[in-house]
C-alpha cells in the first residue's frame, strides 16, 4: 500500500529496554527484491527511488500500545496496521486502557495471523475481489463505503463485488449511496441474529477478502469487540478487517 501510494512506511517496535537487533525488523529491500521490484542486494537509496520512504523506529517503554500512540501523536499516521495472533489480540485481550485503534482515531487494518491477506507475500500482487461492509444506522456506514471504493480504485482492482450486510429487521437497513465503480457490483443482504456471528458467517459465504467497517469511537464497533466476541471475530475471520472512524476523512493513501 505504501508503495502504490508513494507514502512513508514506518515499522515500529517498542520494548522495555528500548533495544532490538535491526536485522530482526522485516526486510523491506528483501521483500521488494522478491517481488522483482529491486535487484537483490540493492542499496537503501534504491527504495527511495521507488517513491517510498521507509523508517524503522525503536521505542522504549513497558506498554507497546502507549509507545505507538506517543509516536502517532507526535508524527501522525493515515493508516495503522496491526498483526493479530491466534492466542488473542494483545491490545484488546489485556487490560489496556487506551487501545491503539480507538485512541488514535485513525484507520486501522487488522491482519490476523495464518489467514490469507489481499496482498501476496510471494510476489506483491493484490487479490481484492470480495469486500464485506456491515452497515447499521449507527455508526454511519457511508465512510466505510467511501473507503472501500477508494481502496479498490487506488489498488487498481479491476473487478469484484461489494456486499452490504445489515443485521436486523427487513426494511430497517440505513439508506446509503453506492457509487458506480467500473467492474464492481453492489449486493445488499439483510439477516437476523447475533451481529458478530452473522458477520463471520457472511464473510465465509461471500469468500470475503476484506471486512470493512465504520466505527464511532467508544460506542462503535471496536468497543463491541472488546467483549466476549472480540477474539472470535479476528480469530475466526479468514481475512483482514479495516476499521474506518466515522469522523475520518478517509486517509491520504486512499484519497
What's the pLDDT tens digit per position in 186-195?
Answer: 999 999 998 8
Q: How far apart are CA 106 and CA 217, in angstroms?
A: 10
Position 241 confidence tier, pLDDT thresholds 50, 70, 90: confident
29-43 average pLDDT score? 93
Q: How far apart are CA 152 and CA 186, in angstroms?
A: 13
Cite the residue boundaries of each domain of the chain with CATH code 3.40.50.620: 112-254
Cell of 56: 524503522
What's the pLDDT tens digit per position in 114-138?
Answer: 777 899 989 999 999 999 999 988 8
pLDDT at 167 over 80: yes
Q: How far apart are CA 251 and CA 255, in angstroms?
A: 6
pLDDT at 251 over 50: no
Output the average pLDDT for the chain: 82
Q: How far apart are CA 216 and CA 101, in angstroms?
A: 11
According to the model, what pLDDT value does residue 49 have? 92
**CA separation, residue 242 to residues 42, 228, 234 (Å):** 33, 20, 11
Position 159 confidence tier, pLDDT thresholds 50, 70, 90: very high
What is the DSSP track for 100-114? HHHHH-SEEEEEETT
pLDDT at 46 over 80: yes
pLDDT at 221 over 60: no
pLDDT at 229 over 90: no
The CATH H-level (homologous superfamily) assignment of domain 112-254 is HUPs (3.40.50.620)
Position 234 confidence tier, pLDDT thresholds 50, 70, 90: low
pLDDT at 15 over 90: no
Amino acid at each position: 500500500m505504501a508503495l502504490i501510494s508513494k507514502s512513508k512506511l514506518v515499522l515500529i517496535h517498542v520494548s522495555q529496554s528500548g533495544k532490538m537487533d535491526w536485522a530482526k525488523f522485516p526486510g523491506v529491500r528483501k521483500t521488494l527484491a522478491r517481488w522483482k521490484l529491486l535487484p537483490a542486494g540493492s542499496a537503501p537509496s534504491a527504495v527511495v527511488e521507488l517513491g517510498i520512504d521507509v523508517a524503522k523506529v525503536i521505542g522504549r517503554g513497558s506498554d507497546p500500545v502507549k509507545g505507538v500512540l506517543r509516536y502517532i501523536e507526535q508524527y501522525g499516521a493515515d493508516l495503522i496496521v496491526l498483526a493479530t495472533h491466534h492466542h488473542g489480540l494483545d491490545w484488546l485481550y489485556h487490560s489496556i486502557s487506551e487501545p491503539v485503534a480507538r485512541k488514535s482515531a485513525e484507520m486501522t487494518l487488522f491482519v490476523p495471523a495464518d489467514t490469507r491477506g489481499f496482498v501476496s507475500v510471494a510476489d506483491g500482487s493484490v487479490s481484492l475481489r470480495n469486500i464485506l461492509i456491515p452497515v447499521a444506522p449507527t455508526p454511519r456506514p457511508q465512510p466505510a463505503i467511501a473507503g472501500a471504493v477508494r481502496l479498490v480504485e487506488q489498488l487498481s482492482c479491476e473487478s469484484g463485488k461489494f456486499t452490504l450486510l445489515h443485521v436486523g429487521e427487513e426494511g430497517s437497513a440505513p439508506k446509503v449511496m453506492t457509487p458506480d465503480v467500473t467492474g464492481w457490483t453492489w449486493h445488499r443482504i439483510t439477516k437476523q441474529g447475533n451481529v458478530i456471528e452473522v458477520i463471520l458467517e457472511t464473510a465465509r459465504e461471500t469468500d470475503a477478502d476484506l471486512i470493512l467497517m465504520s466505527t464511532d469511537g467508544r460506542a462503535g464497533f471496536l468497543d463491541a469487540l472488546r467483549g466476549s466476541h472480540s477474539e472470535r471475530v479476528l480469530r475466526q475471520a479468514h481475512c483482514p478487517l479495516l476499521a474506518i472512524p466515522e469522523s475520518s476523512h478517509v486517509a491520504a493513501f486512499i484519497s
